[in-house]
A and B are shown apart, each in its own frame.
Chain A
């Protein structure tokens, strides 16, 4: 019987480890890759230093008037001066604590969600939160001054529109997804017609409809708030997309699940809500969040109907005759805010996927 010496584990040869190896493997593996890498580096060199020069080195940070903008670079004084407009729009300064409180409560609710298990309780808390936030922001109850929606603006309005759009479209979308998957011919055809109609029309058209055509059909003296009209339009628009995403999820649930639920004698709603929907949603999470991120960005379209969301605020503040010519700074600032929000949603979606990924654990 041969005796073998144990060979100690050796380190990988220097040619297949370390930074050099990584570079060779990933950036310079073929002549084409090398060329592309060099090209990429060249582009970065071409873009980044001028941007840093503009945004930081030559930029003005201090001061409070246009005269303080002297350098060739960006003038962040503009953004600083207009910050409250970007954040709250025309919302009265004395009442801004109400918006801030609504933001703060949001994080409280998120924290509560982590602790609570029962989904019924969660839905109750979320509903409560929306009622409280509405009362806080709009006022008109409990001695809070009413702040009319034409004073809402900036980031706050963007958040309101996307939050209402997301939360409102979700249940409606689920209903239409159920409707489309239903065997009842009328419900099915109504759902299909609705979904296909809305998906065949751009959001901008719906917003125009809601702001230009709709008021003409209301009876004399009936005034629908402009923001409310836009919110309804956005919610129903988004619902059609949510419905299709959830339908995709429903189709991914195996037929055996439906049959098993039927076999234990669950009613239709019990079957759908307790057995099918949770599984369908799990599959649909990435697409749902993708759609919500798209909605968050689409809210900027409200600027064409004269609502001052974050993006429209750049135009408005740029038209102050004391601050003409600083739109670029405004757009860069707004870009950063949008990126932060969208990226956070994306990260949250990843964590949700991980948490619900029960199959592969």
Chain B
């Protein structure tokens, strides 16, 4: 989907962005002064950012905004959400319209190095996967030789698909559609045996099927899409705050602190727990926050595992497995640097 114009405008944004990002360098005091966090989000992506019938935002990306608000302002509800499309998201960050971008943004070298951005972590390891009809009896993507594959045209998904099949010496028949909804219809009407898309998408596409239980998502992931929160370059203090707000959620899961037991954990003898919750040491103060910033995050938003289960995981309609997003102790990639 990348046209020449897009590239040129990206370059222009990069140049202007770099020159503009240096000036406004005290995001922390600005945020404290205005009393709310300016957070840029997706305008509707199941499990990541969506609004319920009352207009309350929720999702795994939203939780990062709320966590930072809880850390900085002590109140997870003090967030002003600005929904952004894919093209304007970086401009909004550079121009100061938002101070934190949590919008399923893939961490890539180009973005990190030339757009004046800093990625503060990875809150969801996504990647391209496959969904098949259970009836065809395929358990692994390597068995898909000769399959008809439905895909949304014009995306990198299509290219990854071609690479994967060529690499493994398999043949496939491409059935391309303009939108995801058409992909679902094509799959249901039997035009193809397989849908490929980002795995987080596959789960929400699966719910749209008439019979969701007749299909399954294969375990193979064929591309890397690390999604994470982004801040402007040039304000290292703010970068640290976002990085450690997120790390606190992961660390809390590692240490077994949840939103329910966090109050009793304050009395824990475990030194790690004591440091995370600010009972001991002054880790929060070093960041320019209060001592109990992690307590606020865990109490009001929850640890990473709770957030994952609630928004995209087993307690949500999407039922995405932890997979790569499990803790490192459980075979995943979520890992917090030590709190000390």
Contacts and interface: CB of A to CB of B under 8 A. Distances in A.
Contacts of B85: 304-306
B55 A85 contact: yes
Contacts, number: 105
Given A220-B20, A324-B317, A316 B43 contact: yes
B317 A321 contact: yes
B87 A321 contact: no
B316 interface: yes
A321 B204 contact: yes
B105 to A, nearest CB: 15
A141 interface: no
A325 B207 contact: yes
A250 interface: no
A210 B175 CA distance: 37
Interface of A: 66, 81-82, 84-85, 89-91, 93, 148, 150-151, 208, 211-213, 215-216, 218, 220-221, 223, 226, 303-308, 312, 315-322, 324-325, 327
Interface of B: 9, 13, 16-17, 20, 23-24, 43-47, 49-55, 80-85, 87-88, 91-92, 94-97, 181, 204, 207-208, 312, 316-318
Contacts of B51: 85, 90, 316-317, 320
Contact of B83 (A221, A308, A320): A308
A322 B88 CA distance: 28
Nearest to A312: B43
Given A90-B51, A216-B20, A315-B43, 11 more contacts: A90-B55, A216-B91, A216-B94, A220-B20, A316-B43, A316-B44, A319-B45, A320-B52, A321-B204, A324-B204, A325-B207
- With a 10 A CB-CB cut-off, give which of A148, A319, A321 has the most chain B CB atoms: A321
A321 B318 contact: yes
A324 B181 CA distance: 11
B92 A215 contact: yes
B50 A321 contact: yes
A226 B316 contact: no
18 contacts: A82-B53, A84-B55, A90-B55, A91-B55, A148-B80, A151-B55, A215-B92, A216-B13, A221-B24, A226-B82, A226-B97, A303-B43, A308-B43, A308-B83, A316-B50, A317-B51, A320-B50, A325-B208
Contacts of A211: 88, 91
B45 A306 contact: no
B53 A85 contact: yes
A306 B84 contact: yes
B140 to A, nearest CB: 27
Contacts of A212: 9, 13, 87-88, 91
A66, A215, A319: most-surrounded residue (chain B CB, <10 A): A319
A223 B82 CA distance: 13
A304 B50 CA distance: 17
A150 B43 CA distance: 12
